[in-house]
Amino acid sequence: MKALSKCLAGGRTAWLLAAIVAVCAAVPVNAQEAGEAVAYLPQGTADILWLLLAGFLVFFMQAGFAMVETGLTRAKNASNIMMKNLMDFSIGAIAFWAIGYALMYGGNGGSFLGWDKDLLFLGSLTDGQDMTGSASWFFQVVFAATAATIVSGAMAERTHFVAYCFYSLLISALLYPTTGHWIWGGGWLGSMNMRDFAGSTVVHSVGAWAALAGCILIGPRKGKYGKDGRVNVIPGHNMPLAALGVFILWFGWFGFNPGSTLVLVDGISHVAITTALAASAGAIGAMLTTWVKFRKPDLSMTLNGTLAGLVAITAPCASVSTGSAVVIGLVAGVLVVFSCLVIEHKFKIDDPVGAISVHGVNGAWGTLAVGLFGQRSIDILYWGEDTAITDGVFFGGGFHQLGVQALGVVSVFAFVAVVAFAMFALLKYTVRLRVSEEEEALGLDLSEHGNEAYPDFLSESEHAK
């Protein structure tokens, strides 16, 4: 039975307690005394609303990743990509509930790792006592899932599914919480006023560096590089789905960045516009770059450019002006094209969707951009006197903030690269990281899941008896 409904229906006399409590709590004291019945929304409830709504949007990014990744890979692996995107969230959520959150935000740990045994299993036994905590967990779990899912695209079309499941478990239970603790959970980088507002480094770089380690260890897809070192093209199978994915991701990013205020304050609007502008500039930057370099404006790279702009603005979104946001996005759009080419052609690392360039390289760029374009006068709208950044290089603040940012970028890179490499190596020698040559040729849909993504030929003949 639903509160408002009942009320309207008049069929019942009993009200929902919650509704009454809310109403009472919300009436200012004097108004109450004066017999006034107008109730107001508590700020705390508004904060919970905001965290949840933003979290819903970030959750929806899973669909965006799934579409981008499947669009840019071959039809014979489409079901596998769907499974991976579904399971990295599902396994990751359970892992983050069981232990990850305690390691990231537990107040009894140190500056390297958090700990709080009451947060294991989200303190399931005392459920409902801390609604603000619940909202916070929700918002964090969708971020953890984003970090996890980045690897899916980079290692697509060759990774053994069982290894991917274990990987999902490990990144959400251990890897992401650790660096997350450093910067957001009260750890050592956060204490230095490193600014990574919504997670260019904490979320995107972590996922991307893990992807980098994985890509190196697993090697390129069969046929990607010829014997003579020639780079072969393995086009994706559905560009409209890839584009749909980018629109969904952009939509979700409006939860990702503005939501990272964590409280419902006026400042969310500035974050929303820096986000929109950087993404637009990223798209334009990538398009123009491909236009000049390849003589035609390329869709797939422009899609990457849009995402690059979004990743790059993720750290500085609440510290820079709209003008700076445009510049940061433009640079990201240019950067992502060259980065993709260098990684593919020079380093011969096979990343089918450009995840390392989008999330890693531009995660780093965005984090450093705080040290270049950051303005204390803007940052302080969101932070306190002692926690706000100093002005960036281009705003006369010298190199201090840039140094802090660089330290964050480098230490997260070093830590994640090493740990992820170890993790994938472990998986390689236990459950097998890569499918066999035949399985890869057949496609992961058939070899790993026993079915096809588009089984249409059949439906006309085999089965219509």
Partner 1 sequence: MKMIIAIIKPFKLEEVKEALAEIGVEGMTVTEVKGFGRQKGHTEIYRGSEYTVDFLPKVKIDIAVRDELVAKACASIAEAAKTGKIGDGKIFVLPVEEAIRIRTGEEGDEVL
Which of these ranges, 148-156, 318-326, 358-366, 404-412, lies near a copy of itself under the rule CB under 8 A? 318-326
Residue 325 or residue 343: which is nearer to a copy of itself going by CB? 325
Residue 297 or residue 393: which is nearer to a copy of itself going by CB? 297
Residue 97: contacted member of partner 1, a copy of itself, none (CB under 5 to 8 Å, by partner type): a copy of itself
Q: Which of 112, 294, 347, 399 binds partner 1 (CB under 8 A)?
A: 294
Query: Under the criterion CB under 8 A, does residue 295 sit at the interface with a copy of itself?
Result: yes
The Cα 395–Cα 402 span in angstroms is: 12
58 Cβ partners below 8 Å, 6+ apart? 139, 142, 143, 146, 252, 255, 256, 259
Residue 231: contacted member of partner 1, a copy of itself, none (CB under 5 to 8 Å, by partner type): partner 1
Q: Which of 112, 292, 293, 323 binds a copy of itself (CB under 8 A)?
A: 323
Nearest to 407 by CA among 370, 356, 461: 370
**Minimal distance, residue 438 CB to partner 1, in Å:** 10
Query: Under the criterion CB under 8 A, does residue 292 sit at the interface with partner 1?
Result: no
The Cα 170–Cα 157 span in angstroms is: 21
Coil, strand or helix at 461 = coil
Residues in contact with a copy of itself, total (CB under 8 A)?
A: 189
State CA 385 to chain mean position distance: 29
21 Cβ partners below 8 Å, 6+ apart? none
Residue 385 or residue 396: which is nearer to a copy of itself going by CB? 385
Phi, psi of 152 (to 5 degrees): -55, -45
Q: Which of 28, 42, 107, 235 binds partner 1 (CB under 8 A)?
A: 235
Query: Under the criterion CB under 8 A, does residue 287 sit at the interface with partner 1?
Result: no
Q: Which two tokens stand for residue 36?
A: 């006034």
Residue 337: contacted member of a copy of itself, partner 1, none (CB under 5 to 8 Å, by partner type): partner 1
Query: Under the criterion CB under 8 A, does residue 300 sit at the interface with partner 1?
Result: yes
Residues 214 to 233 in contact with partner 1, rule: CB under 8 A: 231-233
Q: x/- contact string, 404-443, with a copy of itself (CB under 8 A)?
A: -------------------------------------x--
The Cα 83–Cα 458 span in angstroms is: 23
Residues 237 to 266 in contact with a copy of itself, rule: CB under 8 A: 237-241, 243-244, 246-248, 250-251, 254-255, 258, 260-266
Which of these ranges, 357-365, 381-389, 396-404, 428-436, lies near a copy of itself under the rule CB under 8 A? 381-389
The Cα 421–Cα 144 span in angstroms is: 19
**Continuous H helices in 155-260:** 161-170, 176-183, 188-191, 206-218, 239-256
Q: Which of 110, 127, 191, 293 binds partner 1 (CB under 8 A)?
A: 293
314 Cβ partners below 8 Å, 6+ apart? 196, 197, 198, 199, 200, 203, 204, 253, 256, 257, 363, 366
Query: Under the criterion CB under 8 A, does residue 120 sit at the interface with a copy of itself?
Result: no
Query: Under the criterion CB under 8 A, does residue 25 sit at the interface with a copy of itself?
Result: yes
- C-alpha distance across the termini of the chain, in Å: 48
Query: Under the criterion CB under 8 A, does residue 452 sit at the interface with partner 1?
Result: yes
With contact defined as beta carbons under 8 Å apart, do 201 and 407 qualify? no
Distances from the Cα of 304 to the Cα of 116, 118, 338, 353, angstroms? 39, 41, 11, 8
Residue ranges binding partner 1 (CB under 8 A): 231-233, 235-236, 290, 293-294, 296, 298, 300-301, 337, 340-341, 344-345, 354, 441-442, 446, 449-452, 455, 457-458, 460-465
